[in-house]
Amino acid sequence: MKLFKYILFLILSFFIGIAIYFGTQEGEFSVEKSMSIRAPTELVFQKINEFSHWPQWVFTQEEVKLFYGDTTSGPGAFLSWKGKEYFPGEIKTLEVIPQKTINQRFGFHRTSVDKGHQLQWNLTPNHNDTATEVHWKATGTLSLFEKMSNAFKKSSMEEQVNAVFATSLNQLDSLLTQEMNIYSVVIEGLTQHGGGFYLYKNAAVPMTSLREEIVRIQTEILDFMADNSIVPNGNHFVLYHHRDTQTDRAVISVGIPISDRIITEEGSSVIVGHLPLTTCLKASLKGNYIKHSEEVWRVVNDRMETNNWKLSSGMPVIEKFVVTPQNEKNPALWLSEMYFPLDELSLGTNNPLP
């Protein structure tokens, strides 16, 4: 009996000593990491705020098991996990200011989120919202059990969290870059296109700065319309009168549809035009037309060569913008349509249109 009491005393003394040792160890930690993510703030916010997206960029290991709460985004959203590469843990979203800040609490091991550590996200867009500065900060005080568990790791809590931050942010950047670069080109077939009045300006521009020039000219036309109380009747479009990638030159007109014909002052750089009804080969591009529009020209040229069709020499190719950055932040969801006017003689009996 005395031996049993002695052994029990030693065991209790051992655990008390461990508790005293770890209890006196420094437990406060603070980790901060910033990175510029190459995506609009709205898209970055969606990936961070919605826990169901986290397996794509935080918990990427297959063996980790995730358990979601009834809510997966916004205040009250909950997520817990366990796996070989991660200590069991849980996280809860407390406060959200859309596209600006997210405040959360997290806990490892047996520490619940209510007694856990603070996690804060701050999102700052660049001047044209093509990139977002993400600031991720974790602060807290380790519980006794967390201190003991971390003693068996080769790195401190700060080092572990910092590694997770760095890896996750890099994976978030890669994920969004990949998703925004998705695109598809579809040949819609032959159609009749035309009709309607529009205001336009002509310009000879370098191909390398084509998109910037289109935006500049579009802005000038919109300013003219605002000054003269003219309401647009649709999105802008581009008429390609001539384009040569080898000489880096293009002659274009940028137009904006209007409801009725108007007469501009003599000498005005903004002119009124009318699109005649023409047989065209229509193609659509879903995705970033700034980066991938050349693919449309290539696919259409292949189709025309296959069918022995020729472009009409008297009509420009038309590029219409249906879904634009003004109403959709994700470039993968932009939509443009291109109309290639065809020479009627080259169509022959292949023309199904009346």
Domain extent at residue 335:
184-350
How many folded domains does the chain comprise? 2
Residue 249 has pLDDT above 50, yes or no: yes
Q: Are residues 189 and 176 in the same domain?
A: no
Cβ-contact 231, 259 below 8 angstroms? yes
Show which of 165, 180, 195 is a domain's final residue.
180
Q: Which of 277, 278, 281, 276 is nearest to 190 (CA)?
A: 281
pLDDT (tens digit per residue) in 168-177: 999 999 999 9
Cβ-contact 64, 83 below 8 angstroms? yes
Q: Are residues 170 and 283 in the same domain?
A: no
Query: Does 313 fall in a domain?
Result: yes
What single-letter amino acid sits at 252?
I
Residue 120 has pLDDT above 90, yes or no: yes
Looking up residue 85, the CATH number of its domain turns out to be: 3.30.530.20
Give the pLDDT confidence score for residue 149 in this predicted structure.
Answer: 53
Show which of 180, 202, 235 is a domain's final residue.
180
Show which of 124, 156, 180 is a domain's final residue.
180
Query: Does 4 fall in a domain?
Result: no
Q: Are residues 316 and 206 in the same domain?
A: yes
Q: Are residues 145 and 211 in the same domain?
A: no
Q: Are residues 166 and 40 in the same domain?
A: yes
Query: Does 50 fall in a domain?
Result: yes
Q: Are residues 55 and 37 in the same domain?
A: yes
pLDDT (tens digit per residue) in 7-59: 544 444 444 444 443 444 455 778 899 999 999 999 999 999 999 999 999 98
Range among 20-24, 101-105, 260-264 rated most confident: 101-105
Looking up residue 294, the CATH number of its domain turns out to be: 3.20.80.10
Phi and psi of 85, rounded to 5°?
A: -85, -10
CB proximity list for 153: less than 8 A, separation 6 or greater? 160
Q: Which of 68, 50, 59, 49 is nearest to 87 (CA)?
A: 59
Q: Are residues 278 and 238 in the same domain?
A: yes
Give the pLDDT confidence score for residue 263 in this predicted structure.
Answer: 87
Residue that wins the pLDDT comparison between 214 and 26:
214
Give the pLDDT confidence score for residue 112 in this predicted structure.
Answer: 73
Strand partners, 117: 106
Q: Are residues 235 and 256 in the same domain?
A: yes
Query: Does 18 fall in a domain?
Result: no
Query: Does 14 fall in a domain?
Result: no
Query: Does 311 fall in a domain?
Result: yes
Give the pLDDT confidence score for residue 86 in this predicted structure.
Answer: 62
Q: How far apart are CA 176 and CA 184, in angstroms?
A: 17
Query: Does 252 fall in a domain?
Result: yes
Q: Are residues 210 and 175 in the same domain?
A: no
Q: Are residues 343 and 199 in the same domain?
A: yes
Q: Are residues 58 and 133 in the same domain?
A: yes
Query: Does 7 fall in a domain?
Result: no
Q: Are residues 204 and 163 in the same domain?
A: no
